[in-house]
């Protein structure tokens, strides 16, 4: 009997891990993300060497663990023993003007919708319900990879926060540099997970902003999925 109980507990535990059920969405649609990992099967050199833009994705959903890892690598929280909570990307003056949104269409255990990534709590906060991939693709000048990828990470930036400190130089240069750092983190993390992505800069700002219901301007899109 005791053995049977232990066996059942192991089975339930495995099911929770496999199906991501331990990370259920609450009534507001928010979801706590699994803890990000700090090891990959490939080295950073191998990731740099094999990374290529991917615009065609297999029809396979992303897992919450993959989403967790990508968002953490983009703009996530790093706890530094000297300076406390800091971020995964370098930012001029430590302003960290970027926010990440997830436009999810096919992610296990996650309803389709638009989510804001709360980097402090490592959770997704639902902003809009429903699959917005097709209208995001049309806002991105019809680029089909945005429609077919299971999810797209959108980086937006608080331009006024940076302009207040650094004037036009901050607005015209530093924000793009910050976004480039976070974007490269996404690209290399995707590669390390055996996923593919492409940096997308061609889109209509106002349309993307409206889809996200964001106060800030979008700077970069990263559709992500399994390579075909
Ligand atoms: C700032 C920026 C904007 C880009 N915008 C787009 C885009 O809108 N659509 C697209 O398909 N690729 C876009 N790309 C990807 C480039 O086309 C791609 O990185 C380049 O052709 C080199 O290929 P590789 O990434 O495979 O090395 C962009 C890349 C950068 C850095």
CATH code where residue 116 lies: 3.40.109.10
DSSP-based three-state secondary structure for 86: strand
Distance (Å, whole) CA 15 – CA 22? 9
Q: What is the pLDDT of residue 66?
A: 98
* Residue 126 domain boundaries: 29-226
Instruction: Please check whether residue 141 lies inside any domain of the structure.
Output: yes
CA of 198 to the centre of ligand 1 (A): 6
Q: Is residue 121 part of a domain?
A: yes
What pLDDT score was predicted for residue 85? 85
Alpha carbon distance 97, 161 (integer Å):
7
Mutate which of 155, 157, 199 for ligand 1? The one with the most ligand atoms within 8 Å of its CB, which is: 199
Q: Judge if the beta carbon of residue 200 lies within 6 A of ligand 1.
A: yes
The answer as to whether 189 is a domain residue is yes
Q: What pLDDT does residue 84 have?
A: 83
| 171 Cβ neighbours under 8 A, 6+ residues apart | 159, 162, 163
The ranges of the chain with pLDDT < 70 are 1-23
Number of helices and strands (H, E) in the chain? Answer: 8, 9
**208 found inside a domain:** yes
Q: Is residue 144 part of a domain?
A: yes
pLDDT of residue 26: 78
Task: Determine the pLDDT at residue 4.
Answer: 58
Tell me the pLDDT tens digit for each residue of 132-155: 999 999 999 999 999 999 999 999
In a 10 Å sphere around its CB, with 0-12 CB exposed, 13-18 middle and 19+ buried, how is residue 212 labelled?
buried
- Whether 5 is covered by a domain: the verdict is no
Query: How much distance in Å is there from the Cα of 149 to the middle of ligand 1?
Result: 16
pLDDT value at position 9? 55
The reply to whether 112 falls in a domain is yes
**Predicted pLDDT of residue 27:** 74
Instruction: For residue 10, tell me if it sits in a domain.
Output: no
Report the pLDDT value the prediction gives residue 15, as an integer from 0 to 100: 47
Q: How many domains does the chain have?
A: 1
Q: For 26-58, what is each residue's pLDDT tens digit?
A: 778 899 999 999 899 999 999 999 999 999 999
Q: Token pair 């003056």 is at which residue?
A: 93
């Amino acid at each position: 009997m005791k053995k049977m109980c232990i066996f059942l507990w192991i089975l339930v535990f495995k099911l929770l891990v496999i199906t991501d059920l331990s990370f259920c969405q609450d009534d507001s649609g928010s979801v706590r993300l699994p803890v990000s990992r700090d090891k990959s099967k490939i080295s950073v050199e191998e990731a740099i060497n094999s990374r290529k833009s991917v615009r065609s994705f297999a029809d396979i959903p992303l897992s919450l663990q993959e989403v967790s890892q990508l968002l953490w690598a983009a703009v996530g929280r790093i706890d530094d023993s000297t300076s406390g909570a800091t971020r995964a990307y370098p930012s001029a003056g430590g302003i960290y003007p970027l926010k990440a949104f997830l436009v999810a269409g096919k992610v296990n255990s996650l309803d389709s919708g638009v989510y804001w990534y709360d980097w402090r709590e490592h959770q997704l906060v639902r902003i809009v319900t429903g699959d917005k991939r097709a209208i995001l693709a049309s806002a991105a000048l019809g680029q089909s990879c945005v429609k077919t990828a299971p999810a797209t990470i959108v980086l937006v930036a608080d331009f006024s926060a940076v302009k207040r400190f650094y004037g036009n130089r901050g607005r015209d240069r530093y924000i793009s540099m910050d976004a480039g750092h976070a974007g490269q983190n996404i690209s290399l993390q995707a590669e390390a997970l055996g996923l593919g992505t492409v940096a997308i800069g061609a889109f209509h700002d106002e349309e993307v902003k409206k889809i996200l219901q964001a106060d800030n301007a979008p700077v970069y899109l990263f559709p992500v999925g399994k390579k075909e």
